[in-house]
């Protein structure tokens, strides 16, 4: 195969570059490929396997990433740490992008880029053929080039320190998106759960300005509805983390019991 680009072209990056909104399903308790099929059937653009707030193994994450690649849903993994070996294992397992929690400084962001990208951009170790391109036989130099261009690096900003450093983080070469972890940010600010607090909009405005200046995408985490989403969309946010699988299952189960008890009470 002379040109591997059709295998790896990141549909999420392509959609964001076109100015469109992308929706991402959070996978936290699911361990089977059924979750990938549901994500596709529901119309999600991407899914992310949350390894920070779950007991999901790298083996389970890899299975879902590979299935997502085949299903046409872009697979992302939120790793549990900043360690390069965690990043490498997630990428070698088939992730098309890495979400890195609790990035507070540009130096931390640069280290994450270095772990995600092959030389000369970074220091990612070469594992041979790549799961994310279907184990196609591709010359090493071409594979490195294609993966460097398409693997997404997404730091999460979850503290006031990170917000203050947003412009420096956005300026780091190799960063694709700044994703705000709103719940952790509100907790750190001493306003847990208060989405209507001006500090929340202020934080988003700061990060939105940094993204605009350095041509990065702005992502929303932890906000699932309300007028604030309209405000953030107006600021330029394009990427939205939907509720986790556990939350959707619980809501549906509660609605089911409410309906059935209403009939049979």
Which residues are tagged catalytic? 53
CA distance 246 to 201: 27
E strands present in the chain: 22-27, 46-50, 74-78, 97-100, 152-157, 177-181, 217-221, 237-244
Inter-residue contact 14 to 38 (CB < 8 Å): no
CA distance 64 to 48: 9
Inter-residue contact 205 to 231 (CB < 8 Å): no
Q: What is the DSSP string of 107-171?
A: HHHHHHHHHHS-TTT--PPP-SS-GGGTT----HHHHHHHHHHH-EEEEEE-SHHHHHTHHHHHT
């Amino acid at each position: 195969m002379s040109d591997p680009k059709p295998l790896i072209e990141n549909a999420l990056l392509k959609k964001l570059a076109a100015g469109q909104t992308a929706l991402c399903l959070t996978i936290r308790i699911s361990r089977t490929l059924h979750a990938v099929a549901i994500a596709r059937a529901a119309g999600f653009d991407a899914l992310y396997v949350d390894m920070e707030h779950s007991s999901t193994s790298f083996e389970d994450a890899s299975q879902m990433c590979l299935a997502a690649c085949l299903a046409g849903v872009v697979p992302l993994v939120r790793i549990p740490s900043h360690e390069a070996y965690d990043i490498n294992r997630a990428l070698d397992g088939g992730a098309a992008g890495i979400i890195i929690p609790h990035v507070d400084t540009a130096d931390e962001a640069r280290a994450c880029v270095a772990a995600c990208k092959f030389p000369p951009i970074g220091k990612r170790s070469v594992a041979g053929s790549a799961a994310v391109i279907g184990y196609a036989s591709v010359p090493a130099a071409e594979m490195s080039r294609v993966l460097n261009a398409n693997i997404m690096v997404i730091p999460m900003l979850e503290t006031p320190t990170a917000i203050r450093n947003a412009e420096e983080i956005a300026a780091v070469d190799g960063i694709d998106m700044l994703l705000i972890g709103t719940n952790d940010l509100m907790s750190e600010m001493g306003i847990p759960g208060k989405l209507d607090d001006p500090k929340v909009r202020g934080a988003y405005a700061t990060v939105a300005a940094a993204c605009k200046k350095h041509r990065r995408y702005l992502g929303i985490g932890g906000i699932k509805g309300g007028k604030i989403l309209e405000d953030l969309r107006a600021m330029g946010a394009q990427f939205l983390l939907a509720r986790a699988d556990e939350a959707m299952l619980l809501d549906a189960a509660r609605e089911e019991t409410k309906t059935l008890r209403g009939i049979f009470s």
